[in-house]
Amino acid sequence: MGEDGGVNSSSYSPAAAGGLVLVVAAICTYLAVVATRKQRRRRPPVVGTAFHQLYHVRRVHDYHTALSREHTTFRLLVPAGREQIYTCDPAVVEHILRTNFANYGKGSFNHGNMSDLFGDGIFAVDGDKWKQQRKIASYDFTTRALRDFSGDVFKRNAAKLAGVVSGHAASNQSMDFQAIKTDRNYRWRQWCVVFVSPLRTFVRLFLQGLLMRATMDSIFTIAFGTDLNTLDGSGEGRRFAAAFDDASEFTMLRYLNPFWKLARLLNVGAEAMLKERIKIVDGFVYKLIRDRSDELSNTKAHDTDSRQDILTRFIQATTSDSGTVDYKYLRDIILNIVIAGKDTTAGSLAWFLYMVCKHPEVQEKICHEAMEATDAGEAASIDEFSQSLTDEALNKMHYLHAALTETLRLYPAVPLDNKQCFSDDVLPNGFNVSKGDIVFYIPYAMGRMESLWGKDAESFRPERWLDGNGVFQQESPFKFTAFQAGPRICLGKDFAYRQMKIFAAVLLRFFVLKLRDEKEIVSYRTMVSYRTNDYTLRRSGSPSDGYGEMRAHTLQSGHAQQLAPVLLMQVIAPCAYRNERDLQILIMSDRE
């Protein structure tokens, strides 16, 4: 500056001016290079951030659906680390699930979240570990022996479920109005009120919990060869089931809580409770494995042929020549199978029953189809009818199969799934994916895309799955993604359909289902808030084992964190859902 406050022109030299020009030129060159690279590496459009997703967490799947209607492939910005790409494009889904399968998998992101509970089980691993388990499981799931064994289990538990409903209706006929007694923590409160009329008996049910008990009993028997008997109120079985449910929920919470590793290190909050629940689960499961292993080692080979449960078959297939049994390996495998076959089926059945309540004409068609497909006759008892549901009879029930599939289209058990990219890639739509990125595909949103299903995409219409002769027609698994696709397609798909068809046929053959409140809209919930509501109380443990009292205390003191309920194969999805509340359905028994 000059003495007069002006600019001293002598301070600008030709060298300084030249330097300034060089700096400007360098900046322009850099921006040009960056722009060129961006053109070369096309990225999906950014439509929001992780904070937007957190804001919409209670209706996150509808949030994803709304975004997908604008962009079939998009990004949500995250604070740091991996990019998150979301897609509803069947071509992209096929690319990550089949075409370039080797480049996409669970990865360290998913394994880190799931490994404490699910270890190195089939849903948490990639590579050789996955291939080995898949090979053994693929063989077992295709054997006639396991198919027959599982069918008998499904029929028995379907009859037991229908018997529970019918028995509670009949047992209260002497009273006009009665509240059914429940334990003080409400864990197993499935019935709330019984209404009795001179013509029919009505039972109001909190149905989803009852279905979960029935499906848990089924998959546990098939997996372990042991009856858990949660439908009958077995104390030990209830304690395991409660701990397993909670452990699954706390594991899911890790997908929503970026600070879970710190909580685990400090052993506080949900991580502390997860550790306690896993201890209960492990104690129960390891005892079963040890007992079965000892039984098999002390039994002649031909005497074990009658055992068709999955645990027995895996022990026989994996025990070393020296007789060594890897208990941790077996524990991981079997728990993964249990989670795959438990909540997914129960949740899908709950949504199915809700949909047929909303569409009584569908309910009637299924009832008539079930009666015509079997040779049980109209006078058959519940047990007789359930036993008549042979594979041949089930294969005739095309309309029931279509109605279940239509339910899964709108309410897939895994509404959001993901794969981690192992090396840089280009998607079929031209977008680039970098190593470490997480690519999500969205079954919930895909089931609602008019571009895939037509103008009535959000309507429940089983007929869309039937040809002109009423025969069920498959759709591409990359369009209908409820069971994944490609090499990792769900091994239990046929088992799930058979169980759902058996349970649905028995219930709709003997009961007319109606919603307690026809105007009420039942939706999903992606997480449970801090407050103790009816749902949370019903999930508390039995006071008889001490576990229920502990759980009730943690909820009332506000330390429940934010539970993330699961209807999943579940660990597979970073965000799962369940019904907003247990379905309250009026059951009219003695169908005429």
DSSP codes of every residue in 196-207: E-SS-EEEEEEH
Integer Cα distance of 366 and 399 in angstroms = 7
| Distance (Å, whole) CA 452 – CA 467 | 18
524, 579 in Cβ contact below 8 A? yes
Q: Where are the domains of the chain?
A: 119-413+459-588
What string of pLDDT tens digits covers the 592 residues of the chain?
Answer: 444 444 444 445 666 666 666 766 666 665 455 445 544 579 999 999 888 887 887 788 999 999 999 999 999 988 766 789 999 999 999 999 999 999 999 988 888 999 999 999 888 888 888 888 888 888 878 888 889 999 999 999 999 999 887 776 555 432 222 222 223 232 222 222 222 222 333 444 457 778 888 999 999 999 988 888 888 776 788 889 889 888 988 888 887 777 899 999 999 999 999 999 999 999 999 999 999 998 888 876 555 556 778 898 888 887 766 678 889 999 998 888 888 887 788 889 989 998 998 999 999 999 999 999 998 888 899 999 999 999 999 999 999 999 999 999 999 988 999 999 999 999 999 999 999 999 999 999 999 999 999 999 999 999 999 999 999 999 999 999 999 999 999 988 999 999 999 999 999 999 888 877 777 677 775 533 222 222 222 222 333 333 333 222 222 222 222 222 222 222 222 233 334 444 455 555 455 4
Token readout for 276 is: 């306690």
Q: Cα–Cα distance between 99 and 90 in angstroms, integer?
A: 12
DSSP 296-329: HHTS-GGGSTT---HHHHHHHHH--TT----HHH
DSSP assignment of 201-249: EEEEEEHHHHHHHHHHHHHHHHHHSS---TTTT-HHHHHHHHHHHHHHH
| Per-residue pLDDT at 381 | 92
C-beta of residue 217 within 8 angstroms of C-beta of residue 227: yes
Distance CA 571, CA 560 (A): 20
Kind and range of the H or E element at 524? strand 524-525
CA atoms within 13 A on the CB side of 511: 32
The distance of Cα 543 from the centroid of its chain, to the nearest Å, equals 28
Domain 119-413+459-588 has CATH 1.10.3720.10: no
Q: How far is CA 35 from CA 28, 39, 419, 433, in A?
A: 10, 6, 29, 17
413/407 Cα distance (integer angstroms): 10
Helices (H), 359-490: 360-373, 382-387, 391-396, 398-410, 443-446, 450-453
pLDDT at position 91 is 98
Tokens at 80, concatenated:
């740091």
- Say what the pLDDT of residue 52 is: 87
> Among residues 363, 345, 462, 473, which one has the least CA distance to residue 410?
462
Query: Measured between alpha carbons, how far apart are the two ends of the chain, in Å?
Result: 102
Torsion of CA 383, 364, 215, 112, to 10 degrees: 160
Q: How far apart are CA 587 and CA 585, in angstroms?
A: 6
Question: What are the Cα distances from residue 260, in Å, to 12, 125, 267, 384?
Answer: 58, 21, 10, 51
CA distances from 521 to 354, 423, 480, 539, 547 (A): 10, 44, 25, 22, 34
HEC readout, 18-70: HHHHHHHHHHHHHHHHHHHHHHHCCCCCEEEEHHHHHHCHHHHHHHHHHHHHH
Work out the angle between the directed axes of helices 327-341 and 343-358 (0-180°, nearest 10). Answer: 0
What pTM was computed for the model? 0.78
490 annotated to bind ligand: yes
Question: Distance between CA 327 and CA 315 in Å, rounded?
Answer: 9
**What pLDDT, on a 0 to 100 scale, did the predictor assign at position 82?**
74
In a 13 Å sphere around the CA of 173, the CA atoms on its Cβ side amount to 10
HSE, CB side, 13 Å, CA atoms: give it for residue 32.
6
* Burial class of residue 542 (count of CB atoms within 10 Å of its CB; 0-12, 13-18, 19+): buried
Residue 193 to residues 161, 204, 205, 206, 533, Cα–Cα distance (Å): 18, 6, 8, 10, 19
Helix (H) or strand (E) holding 419: strand 417-421
Alpha-helical segments (H) within 447-529: 450-453, 493-510
From its phi and psi, is residue 427 left (phi > 0), alpha (psi between -120 and 50) or beta? Answer: beta
Alpha carbon 309 to chain centroid distance?
A: 23
- In angstroms, the CA 435 to CA 240 distance is 40
Distances in Å between the Cα of 419 and the Cα atoms of 103, 133, 143 are 9, 19, 30
Q: How many residues does the chain have?
A: 592
